[in-house]
Amino acid sequence: MKRRAFLQQTVAAPAYAGLAAYALNAEAIPAADLPAGRYTPGRIVNEYNLLVPGEADELKNSPRLHSFSGGKAEVLWGNEKKSMAPGEVIGGWELVAIVPWMNGTPTAVFEKNVTHQGVILYVTAMGEIARIPKRLGKLDRVEPRPTSTPHNVKFERPAQYIAGPDVCGDYILNSAEDPCYENVAALGAEFIGWTLVSNEESGPERSLFLEADGTSRQLAADPQATWAPDTMGRLFDPRRSLPSEYMYDYVPGYSKRTLLGGFLPAADIGVWNPHYKVGYEVMVILPDGAEARPMGRVRAQLPRDSDGKPIPAGDPNSGEPLPATGFVDRYWNCSAEEFFSVLAGIWNRWHNFFAAGMQVEIPDQWLAEAARAGIVLSRCSYHGLDPTYQIGEGTYTKIPARSHALFPVAHYEFVWTQQLWGHAEQVEPHFQHYLDHYILPDGNFLYNTQDQVEAPLNAGIFLENSARAYDHTGNVEALRKRLPILRRMLDFVVRRYRYSQEAFPVGDPRHGLIWGSAEADNGDPQNDFPESHPYYYQNATWTWRGLKEHARCLKRAGQESQDADLQRESAEMEKLAAEMRADIEQSLARTLADRNPEMKQAGITPFTPFDTERQPSELQDYENHRYMMDWWTSDWGDPALDAGHFAHRHLAGLQIMGMNRDGSRHGTSNFMEHGTLAGRIRQDDYRPFLLALYGNLCFAMDSGNRYAPEDALLPGNYPGEGFPSSWSAVINSTLQPAMGLRWLLCYEEHDRDVVHLQKAAPQHWFSPGEAIRVRNCPTRFGAISWTTQTFHVSGGSARWKIEVTFVRPCEADLVIHIHPPDRRPLRSVSLGELHPSYVVVAAKLLEGNTHIEIEVT
């Protein structure tokens, strides 16, 4: 089965006439009548972040432990002292377990839930040892995600597919606000996905996916499960632990699906029944180990009788006292002590993992947790060091690994993203393992010997990943270990380059390009010849980019290790990259000149040398969701050509909430959305970048558990709708927030020694009282840490204080972006060159410095 069905469908601009069917209803205010930049779009609150006034202090005011005795804990809270058993409460904190032995110390575990949030707290006599945040609070606050559409601009899925302008996206971009969760999510229904429970050892097959009601998708390992699914079917079913058989039934939408801690591979799901006014919470975790059995906790609110009194769970004549909390806890495959002991280990493992890399504190904690969750879920989906394309178990999980599991695009993004987040050392074994086992003797990818042929451009991306690995670690031995395989890969694509030089004379636009497939779904191993495909520009530009970065890396490594052989090889690669650049430039110049008048007038960028005779409204799905994406990530360095692809997408009506639009249906194929983000982050206007990022987060993945399918129908998609491979969660889609947030915070230009900080940070992050803190952000110039704090000043304006620390003196220009909420230009700066929305601190000002402080008004 191919990864996606190839659809040769084009769409035409006249379909814009049907616009009202997909985005606006009859009562909508026409966009032209809204004053650009002066209206406020609809908003909802982000309940994954939200603490109502006073709750932050309430959660900080935690209990202290005095001692243990007789199975009870002596607990202090404020001036109150209480001897407590599990199930009792002090100051709103419930003692949920006493773990007699945790790292050699007796530990009390408390839990507190406020309106939308909660905390699980581990306390010893020495103080707090762990604080695990919950993004689920009181169950009666669980409801479908609301919408807010004061201008009747609504994001809805029509019965019939209609191409057209991105009305909802433009509505946000033309408003007085920057795109954010609050205004983007307000436009339409959420994606409801499965919640993954996994670890790094057991592999996808032993992970669990939980439905919206907390029931596992996986069946029980029982022969009866296949013929009696109604009684024995599910491996885990919270209904078996509920006090009533029917009062807790799941009502569609009344589910809040989150990950414990915000990013752990552990489920925390809340379900509320609005008819019977009762709910339950499901927590499921998977301990370490290849053969681990999952553990679960079901916390159910007791129903009440006609007098409002709780009804006992189980036998009402048992004589057991009613719990003081009005909730009953039941555990699956474990005791309370075992559950919370294992949970602490999971938290410590991942908390320490991120503490060792780039650390991010931003006003939008929900976005930061999406980035971390993507990395965690991806690492837990690998088969040890062996790659995968699927998150968890599903359509694309192949054992033994073949085809989709070896998709180069998934593995390069897996490595690339973790490098960007300061985990180059941790991901190096995965990188090397792939090179050792899945690159063929001729330098091609093993994936390509299966049922599809992938794009040769991937070799260029692997070369850049290698260069970035050295930039971030300085590990020359790891580089030397990679080099023999990288040389084979490079030889494979260079042979294709030499073929086009020999086969086509100078002046032929194919001269000096790279032949091969542009996408796996379009490649056939039985038809993989020089003329099997057009000569796609992105194959050539990525090969050039990889060569250029590889040459730079070898030069640096040769100088730092005093290795003359590496320096000689660098010179050869640099010469080859320059030759290739000249050939591609010559081809592009010829093709751009040969475009028909319509393409020239529209500024459309061609995909291939003979892509010169099309109407601007003609754009195939794969061109939109893959080919131009690879162009943008290769960063050719010509802004006009980048803009030409965006113009083409706009004129063809194939953009949706800032993302690429699937040319065959009302949705997006978002596994390559990092291409849109890569193109947008280079533009002066950062707002389209934010729209694409938040559009992806709010509609193409589950906002709470981060389940992100390869293809999403928009809005309101769910697993099970449509073709099975379309809703399979995949590595690439899951990692989009991590790549996007890193570029938002820190973006390095390829061809100039320039580092941008906060290039796409939204305006409200620069409001008084807010702060942006980033620690150990890796760049090729060394790790950078910085803090941007906003302060009130008289007159209603603001002052920003920026402190930047370098691990070594920075040899790049530093561009610090600030976007005032009132959109007024910056007026003064204590260091550097002032621009309306950014400050440039030239490299010469940073000579010999590892710390600078800047004040901006």
Which is more confidently placed, 93 or 231? 93
Q: What is the pLDDT of residues 484-539, one digit of tens each?
A: 999 999 999 999 999 999 999 999 999 999 999 999 888 888 888 999 999 999 99
pLDDT single digits (tens) 57-88: 999 999 999 999 988 999 999 999 999 999 99
Higher pLDDT among residues 338 and 20, named by residue? 338
Map tokens 């971390």 to a residue. 372
pLDDT at residue 316, as a whole number:
57
Please say if the pLDDT value at position 377 is more than 70. yes
| In contact, 516 and 494? CB cutoff 8 Å | no
- Contact criterion met (CB below 8 Å) for 378 and 735: yes
Q: What is the pLDDT of residues 740-764, one digit of tens each?
A: 999 999 999 999 999 999 999 999 9
Lowest model confidence (mean pLDDT) among 574-583, 795-804, 838-847: 795-804
Q: Which two tokens stand for residue 249?
A: 């039934």
According to the model, what pLDDT value does residue 23 have? Answer: 44
Nearest to 14 by CA among 615, 763, 797: 615
Across residues 658-675, what is the average pLDDT?
92
Task: Report pLDDT for 203.
Answer: 85
Q: Is residue 712 over pLDDT 80?
A: yes
Tell me the mean pLDDT in the region 15-30.
44
Identify the pLDDT of residue 5. 45
Phi, psi of 131, deg, nearest 5: -135, 105
Token pair, residue 335, equals 């005791």
Write down the pLDDT at residue 601. 97
DSSP bridge partners of 559: none
Q: What is the largest CA-CA distance in the chain?
A: 93
CA distance 153 to 148: 9
Quickly list H helices, 421-475.
424-438, 457-473
Over residues 404-412, mean pLDDT:
91
Rounded to the nearest 5°, which phi and psi values hold at 390? -90, 140
Per-residue pLDDT, 146: 98
Identify which of 575, 555, 474, 457 has the alpha carbon closest to the alpha carbon of residue 513.
Answer: 457
| pLDDT score of 394 | 83
pLDDT over threshold 50, residue 26 = no
DSSP string, 367-433: HHHHHHHHHHHHHTTSBTTB--SBSSSSTT--SS--GGGG-HHHHHHHHHHHHHTT-HHHHHHHHHH
Asked if residue 22 has pLDDT above 80, the reply is: no
- Which residues are 131's β-sheet partners? 121
pLDDT single digits (tens) 52-64: 999 999 999 999 9
The half-sphere exposure of 639 on its side-chain side, counting CA atoms within 13 A, is 7
- Say whether 794 sits in a helix, a strand or coil: helix
Give tens-digit pLDDT for 209-263: 999 999 999 988 877 777 776 777 899 999 999 998 889 999 999 999 999 999 9
pLDDT of residue 766: 97
Calculate mean pLDDT across residues 834-855: 97
Mean pLDDT of all residues in 377-391: 94
Q: State mean pLDDT over 316-331.
A: 78
Q: What pLDDT, on the 0 to 100 scale, is given for residue 163?
A: 87
Query: Which amino acid, residue 370?
Result: A
Band (18; pLDDT cuts 50, 70, 90): very low
pTM: 0.95
CB within 8 Å of 414: residues ≥ 6 apart:
378, 382, 387, 427, 430, 731, 735
| 782-837 pLDDT tens trace | 999 999 999 988 777 899 999 999 999 999 999 999 999 999 999 999 999 999 99
Q: Answer positive or negative: Cα dihedral of 349, 355, 359, 363.
A: positive
3-state secondary structure string across 629-654: HHHHHHCCCCHHHHHHHHHHHHHCCE
pLDDT at res. 403: 65
Rounded to an integer, the average pLDDT of 379-390 is: 94
Between 2 and 339, the more confident residue is 339
pLDDT of 397 above 80: no
Least confident interval from 54-63, 131-140, 193-202, 313-322: 313-322
Position 282 pLDDT exceeds 80: yes
- Sorting pLDDT into bands at 50, 70 and 90, what band is 475? very high
DSSP E strands in 274-381: the ranges are 278-285, 295-301, 327-332, 359-361
pLDDT band at 315 (very low <50, low <70, confident <90, very high): low
For the packed helices 731-745 and 408-420, what is the interaxial angle rounded to 10 degrees? 30
Closest alpha carbon to 23 in 186, 153, 165: 153
Q: Using pLDDT thresholds of 50, 70 and 90, give the confidence band for residue 12.
A: very low
Q: What is the pLDDT of residue 4?
A: 55
Q: Report, as an integer, the average pLDDT of 301-330.
A: 79
Distances (CA, A) of 568 to 64, 447, 477: 64, 32, 18
* Overall residue count recorded for the chain in this entry: 857
How many Å from the N-terminal Cα to the C-terminal Cα in the chain? Answer: 58
Is the distance from CB of 209 to CB of 216 less than 8 angstroms? yes
Residue 694, classed as helix, strand or coil, is helix
pLDDT at 3: 55
CA 168/CA 759 separation, integer angstroms:
24
Pairing of strands 754-757, 813-817: parallel
Residue 399 binned pLDDT confidence (cut-offs 50, 70, 90): low
Q: What is the pLDDT of residue 8?
A: 32
What is the average pLDDT across 430-439? Answer: 96
Q: How confident is the model at residue 159 (pLDDT cuts 50, 70, 90)?
A: confident
pLDDT confidence band for 854 (50 / 70 / 90): very high
Q: Is pLDDT above 60 for 266?
A: yes
Return the pLDDT at 224: 74
